[in-house]
Structure 1
Amino acid sequence: MLKENLSLSQLFAIIIGFNLGTTLVVVLGITAKEDAWITVLLSTFTGLIIASFFLNLNELAPSKNLFEIIEFGFNRFFAIPITLVYSLYFFYLAARTIRDFGELTSAFILPLTPIEIIIIALMFIIGYILYLGIEILGRTTEIFTPYSALFLFLLIILLFASQNISITKIQPVLARGILPVIEAMFPIEVSRPYGEMIVMTCIFPHISNLKMRKKSVLFSVAFSGILLTIATLIITASLGITTASRATFPLLSTTRLISIGNFLERIDALAVFIIMLGIVIKSSIFIYSGLKGLEYIFNYQYRYFVIPIVCIIAMFSIFISMDINDHVREGAVVVPYLLYYPLQFAFPCFLLFVLLIKKVKNKGHSPSKDKPYKNP
């Protein structure tokens, strides 16, 4: 089986699309009120630390993905059940991501179309991309991500031109101090999207340029964090924190404020493109990583599992919640404490500790290169 490779530019585009993903669907740091954008900005610095952690975890076994690293740290007997848990976790997050797009499309774009049709159509695209391979996803992302960033900046310019942005809506700054901002970061803002980047440990082995990989990852995390900060700042400065917190999809609500000369208006398509591209990238990465877990468990190429898994995820994303309120409540209350903390932070920290212990032991057992020469 030929190894699939990704370029640094493709990795850069994938991480940006992944981090934007469903993150733009909701207002980030909403509990910090007018300081929501500060919460997102500080979360970016935390995200850089988290990304560095996952990179260091991967660098202890550069050619291995997450599941192979688990086997390297323990053994295959223990790695198989842990791999199964992570695969199900990735599939679950993919189903939630796809449901986000289904709710958005059925509410704003195609209100007369059943959500089942929307989800099945999206899953058909994702399944086709995954069957072709990770390289195709990388090329697709590399082509369309620049348009996503361009459209986001275009929306900002149009909002300024239509005089919908008011700085007074984000004032006073830090009126309640820094503590509410710090509290708003945990657990949601740090876990999503930066904690979810544990899935990238299944992507890092596809990068052949190991020297520049770390710089590319950290730069892409910083750039995506800046984009999220700007988007949060613009949303709150346009809608106001009260309206933004009540809006189901605040980015689309912000876009609908644009009206220049009663001619240029209703440009929701730009916002939908940004969100849809991010959702396709994010859900594809989740599903691909879960498929690699099944490949590790059953020793069959992951393409054998694409069609059945895509069908199961499509069905599960439809039945995952009753409505949008139930879907949002589950993501805010249940998911962080049951899934984010144990699988994103607790176990990876334990795994890194085990790998470092093994590394020290291997060094201790290696023969010394500086043995003094003894005459016979």
Structure 2
Amino acid sequence: MLKENISLTQLFTFIVNLLLGSSIVVGIGKDAQQNGWIAILIATLIGVGLMFFYFSLIHLQPNKNLYEIMEYCFTRKVTIILSSIYVSYFLYISARVLRTFGEMITAAIMPQTPLEVIVLSLLFILAYILYLGIEVLGRVSEILSPYIYFSLLFLLLFLPLSGNIQLNRLLPVMGDGFKPVLKAVFPSLLSFPFGELIVFTIILSSINDLKKVGKISLIAVLTAGLQLIIGAVLMIITLGADVNQFSNFPLLSTARLVAVGEFAERLDPLVVFIMILGVIIKSALFLYCCLKGLEYIFRLSYHYFAFPISILTAVFTLLIAANYGEHLAKGHYMLINYFHMAMQLLIPGITFIFLITKVRKQKSEWKTDAGKC
């Protein structure tokens, strides 16, 4: 099948947008309250290690994605089973991202608009982008990313001028010890958003030159981590730890407090703009990985599946939960406790062990054959 390529710049924007995506809006590390930023800092460093692990997996078998590497390590029959699980997982995460976005729009911006209209509108865009291919998605990400970053910068600049900031809300630092911070990191922050870097075990095979990927990935994860830390600090010093913890969309609540004369007031649309762009890219990345799994299983180009799977994702998005509370509960309990660890660490870890063993054995056989010659 025709190989598609993305640039290192596009990879950078993919990583940053995946990590920011919905997490910058819904807020992360809230279980650690005013120490949430410390939890995010620790999780970012672990995220760097995770990205290096995923990169190492691909680096051992260049030009192969996770599905193809699993076939190399196991048999095709076993890999089809594992690939089917990953297809379901990626589709489910894509649906969850879209549901979070839809709930925010209906709850805070367009309460009279049916959730179905919002979800279907966005998924039609995603389906068309993915039908055109990962290269088009890369260009979309490359074009939209500066708008996301400048929007966040705009919010960062005007929030202090609104007079709603109280730095003492960051205190006491680890007043209850290190345990609450550690609890926020493991497993919550480890799996969301940093464990979601698992998608790059599928995407990195689209990059021809892997030499600079490690460096670019490191910078991208640290950049996203820094933005998440700044976002967490802003939400805490503006809303307070308690309000921030129980707010469904703390960044939206924070933006509503911005008031600088008559020049900048209620920056809700800015947050929605950030969310739309982030969700398009993040959800598309997960959906792309789902489609690549189907491509591997059926040996047909993933382009054929773009529209049918997008329709299925739309249906799944609407049926995933009865309300936003149930949606959050399922994500926090079921995903973190059961699925994330297996999909993000266990299966890749076992694959990595088998891969190293097989590569070393192959190298040993080559040396033996060379010695005989």
TM-score range, shorter chain: over 0.9
Q: How do 1:195-274 residues align onto structure 2 when only pairs under 5 Å count?
A: 195-274=195-274
1:47 paired with 2:21, answer no
| Cα 1:88–1:372 shift into 2, 3 Å | closer
Aligned-partner residue type, residue 6 of structure 1: I
Question: In the TM superposition, what is the alpha-carbon distance from 1:259 to its structure 2 partner?
Answer: 0.7
Q: How do 1:132-211 residues align onto structure 2 when only pairs under 5 Å count?
A: 132-211=132-211
C-alpha distance in 1, partners of 2:370/2:90?
Answer: 48
Q: Could you give the per-residue CA deviations for residues 69-95 of structure 1, whole angstroms, max 9, x where no partner exists?
A: 110111211111110000110000001
| Cα 1:357–1:118 shift into 2, 3 Å | same
Q: Could you give the per-residue CA deviations for residues 171-191 of structure 1, whole angstroms, max 9, x where no partner exists?
A: 111212222211210111011
C-alpha distance in 2, partners of 1:25/1:89?
Answer: 23
* Residues 63 and 208 in structure 2, CA contact (< 8 A), matched pair in contact too: no
Question: Once structures 1 and 2 are overlaid, which stretch shifts more, 50-59 or 18-27?
Answer: 18-27
Question: In the TM superposition, what is the alpha-carbon distance from 1:40 to its structure 2 partner?
Answer: 0.5
Aligned-partner residue type, residue 137 of structure 1: L
* Residues 25 and 271 in structure 2, CA contact (< 8 A), matched pair in contact too: no
Question: In the TM superposition, what is the alpha-carbon distance from 1:60 to its structure 2 partner?
Answer: 1.2
Secondary structure at 2:50's aligned position in 1?
Answer: helix
C-alpha distance in 1, partners of 2:250/2:124?
Answer: 28
Q: Could you give the per-residue CA deviations for residues 114-159 of structure 1, whole angstroms, max 9, x where no partner exists?
A: 0000000000110110001101110011111111111111101111
C-alpha distance in 2, partners of 1:112/1:372?
Answer: 77
Question: In the TM superposition, what is the alpha-carbon distance from 1:369 to its structure 2 partner?
Answer: 8.6
C-alpha distance in 1, partners of 2:260/2:71?
Answer: 59
Secondary structure at 2:62's aligned position in 1?
Answer: coil
| Cα 1:263–1:154 shift into 2, 3 Å | closer
Question: In the TM superposition, what is the alpha-carbon distance from 1:208 to its structure 2 partner?
Answer: 1.5
C-alpha distance in 2, partners of 1:324/1:180?
Answer: 26
1:324 paired with 2:324, answer yes
Q: TM-score, normalised by structure 2?
A: 0.97
Aligned to 1:309: 309
C-alpha distance in 1, partners of 2:230/2:366?
Answer: 51
Secondary structure at 2:72's aligned position in 1?
Answer: helix
C-alpha distance in 2, partners of 1:135/1:69?
Answer: 22
C-alpha distance in 1, partners of 2:91/2:251?
Answer: 26
C-alpha distance in 2, partners of 1:17/1:283?
Answer: 10
Unaligned runs of 5+ in 2: none
C-alpha distance in 1, partners of 2:262/2:6?
Answer: 45
Aligned-partner residue type, residue 11 of structure 1: L
C-alpha distance in 2, partners of 1:33/1:325?
Answer: 20
C-alpha distance in 1, partners of 2:369/2:322?
Answer: 65
Q: Could you give the per-residue CA deviations for residues 225-245 of structure 1, whole angstroms, max 9, x where no partner exists?
A: 100010011011100011111
Question: In the TM superposition, what is the alpha-carbon distance from 1:296 to its structure 2 partner?
Answer: 0.5
Aligned-partner residue type, residue 225 of structure 1: G
Question: In the TM superposition, what is the alpha-carbon distance from 1:370 to its structure 2 partner?
Answer: 8.2
Q: Could you give the per-residue CA deviations for residues 269-309 of structure 1, whole angstroms, max 9, x where no partner exists?
A: 11111111111111101111110100100011111111111
| Cα 1:43–1:291 shift into 2, 3 Å | same
| Cα 1:263–1:71 shift into 2, 3 Å | same
Aligned to 1:354: 354
Secondary structure at 1:147's aligned position in 2?
Answer: helix
Question: In the TM superposition, what is the alpha-carbon distance from 1:27 to its structure 2 partner?
Answer: 2.3
| Cα 1:282–1:343 shift into 2, 3 Å | same
Aligned to 1:2: 2
Secondary structure at 2:173's aligned position in 1?
Answer: coil
C-alpha distance in 1, partners of 2:162/2:367?
Answer: 71
Runs of 4+ in 1 over 4 A off after TM superposition: 368-373
Q: How do 1:99-114 residues align onto structure 2 when only pairs under 5 Å count?
A: 99-114=99-114
Aligned-partner residue type, residue 309 of structure 1: I
For these two proteins, the number of residue pairs brought into alignment is 373
Aligned-partner residue type, residue 337 of structure 1: N
C-alpha distance in 1, partners of 2:169/2:108?
Answer: 26
Aligned to 1:297: 297
Question: In the TM superposition, what is the alpha-carbon distance from 1:368 to its structure 2 partner?
Answer: 4.7
Question: Once structures 1 and 2 are overlaid, which stretch shifts more, 91-100 or 354-363?
Answer: 354-363
Aligned-partner residue type, residue 111 of structure 1: P
C-alpha distance in 1, partners of 2:141/2:173?
Answer: 37
Aligned-partner residue type, residue 360 of structure 1: R
1:64 paired with 2:76, answer no
Question: Once structures 1 and 2 are overlaid, which stretch shifts more, 144-153 or 364-373?
Answer: 364-373
C-alpha distance in 2, partners of 1:234/1:245?
Answer: 13
Question: In the TM superposition, what is the alpha-carbon distance from 1:25 to its structure 2 partner?
Answer: 2.7
Q: TM-score, normalised by structure 1?
A: 0.97
C-alpha distance in 1, partners of 2:125/2:307?
Answer: 12
Secondary structure at 2:87's aligned position in 1?
Answer: helix
Question: In the TM superposition, what is the alpha-carbon distance from 1:371 to its structure 2 partner?
Answer: 4.8
C-alpha distance in 1, partners of 2:221/2:263?
Answer: 37
Aligned to 1:32: 32
Please, what is the CA RMSD of the aligned residues?
A: 1.4
* Residues 58 and 66 in structure 2, CA contact (< 8 A), matched pair in contact too: yes
C-alpha distance in 2, partners of 1:113/1:26?
Answer: 21
Secondary structure at 1:366's aligned position in 2?
Answer: helix
Aligned to 1:342: 342
